[in-house]
């Protein structure tokens, strides 16, 4: 492949994240599969075709993010694509019944973790000729779908969408950034009753990672722009 990219995926040890890593590595890209548990990350990478580098990373650990960003920038020089995939659901609470601890635990991973990744990896991304950030969001966080239930999760994704839009303006002309709704996917989080296979859930993220001409500042599902 002439255009081999350095692509980092958080939460790459299972579900959609694992499938994203598998597909991108098979295409010939260098994939940095990040997992909170190193052994689970190494197990997930076993048998993947291509170059997969497994790194231990908890996106709620700011110091760990900083150290990894410095390490990878020194070793690789630049990062082409950052996929903020790590996410937690943590129950089906209403907004009024959600405890502060539950709210914080979800926001720390789904929103603040992604923001911290962008903050620390911005330097390595700026050195790419075609830098991209892809935030894994959810239609459950869209304004028109804030109907109740899973309140911390919904609000964390609404906030992630807002961050995506804000950064698309701040980074215009240097780094493209988009949010993706993968749909209801058969993963540990989505459950066996979900309507989509994991390959479909990964499709838009893989497309945004490698397609020559992509938008920025958009919310997408199935490679189509959807409402915020």
pLDDT, tens only, 133-167: 999 999 999 999 999 899 999 999 999 999 999 99
> 121: which 2 tokens?
């990896």
Q: How far apart are CA 153 and CA 104, in angstroms?
A: 10
Residues 6+ apart with CB under 8 A from 13: 33, 35, 36, 37, 40, 41, 43, 44
**What pairing do the DSSP bridges indicate for beta strands 224-225 and 219-221?**
antiparallel
Residue tagged active-site, from 111, 121, 153, 219: 153
Token representation of residue 220: 């997408």
139 closest CA partner among 120, 125, 160:
160
The two three-digit tokens of residue 90, written as one number? 């943590």
Secondary structure (H, E, C), 157-171: HHHHHHHHHHHHHHC
Q: Which region holds residue 223: left if phi is over 0, alpha if psi is between -120 and 50, else beta?
A: left
Query: Which pLDDT belongs to residue 189?
Result: 66
Query: pLDDT digit of tens for each residue in the chain (228 aa)?
Result: 458 999 999 999 999 999 999 999 999 999 999 999 999 999 999 999 999 999 999 999 999 999 999 999 999 999 999 999 999 988 889 999 999 999 999 999 999 999 999 999 999 999 999 999 999 999 999 999 999 899 999 999 999 999 999 999 999 999 999 999 997 556 666 667 766 788 899 999 999 999 999 999 999 999 999 999
Are 32 and 95 contacting, i.e. CB atoms less than 8 angstroms apart? no
Q: Please check whether residue 64 is in contact with residue 55, taking contact to mean a CB–CB distance below 8 angstroms.
A: no
d(CA 185, CA 181): 10
pLDDT value of position 46: 96
Sheet architecture: strand order including 175-180: 52-56, 30-35, 6-9, 81-84, 131-136, 175-180, 219-221, 224-225
Place of tokens 């980092």: 8
Do residues 200 and 185 touch, judged by C-beta distance below 8 A?
yes
pLDDT of residue 1: 44
Extract the tokens encoding 137: 């969001």
The SS3 call for residue 6 is strand
101 is catalytic: no
Pick among 3.40.50.720, 3.40.50.620, 3.40.920.10, 3.40.50.1860: CATH of 6-225: 3.40.50.720
- Alpha carbons within 13 angstroms on the beta-carbon side of residue 163 total 26
197 near 208, Cβ under 8 Å? no
């Amino acid at each position: 492949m002439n255009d081999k990219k350095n692509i980092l995926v958080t939460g790459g040890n299972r579900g959609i994240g694992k499938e994203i890593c598998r597909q991108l590595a098979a295409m010939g890209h260098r994939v940095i599969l990040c997992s909170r548990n190193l052994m689970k990350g190494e197990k997930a990478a076993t048998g993947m075709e291509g170059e997969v580098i497994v790194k231990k990373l908890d996106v709620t650990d700011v110091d760990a993010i900083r150290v990894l960003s410095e390490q990878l920038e020194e070793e690789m020089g630049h990062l082409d694509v950052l996929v903020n995939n790590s996410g937690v659901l943590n129950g089906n609470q209403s907004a009024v019944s959600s405890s502060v601890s539950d709210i914080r635990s979800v926001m720390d991973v789904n929103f603040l973790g992604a923001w911290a990744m962008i903050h620390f990896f911005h330097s390595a991304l700026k050195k790419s000729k075609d830098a991209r950030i892809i935030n894994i969001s959810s239609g459950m966080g869209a304004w028109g779908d804030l109907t109740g239930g899973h309140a911390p999760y919904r609000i964390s994704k609404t906030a992630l969408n807002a961050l995506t839009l804000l950064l698309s303006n701040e980074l215009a002309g240097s780094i493209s950034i988009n949010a993706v709704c993968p749909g209801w996917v058969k993963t540990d989080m989505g459950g066996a009753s979900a309507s989509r296979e994991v390959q479909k859930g990964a499709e838009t993220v893989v497309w945004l990672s490698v397609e020559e001409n992509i938008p920025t500042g958009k919310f997408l599902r199935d490679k189509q722009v959807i409402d915020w």
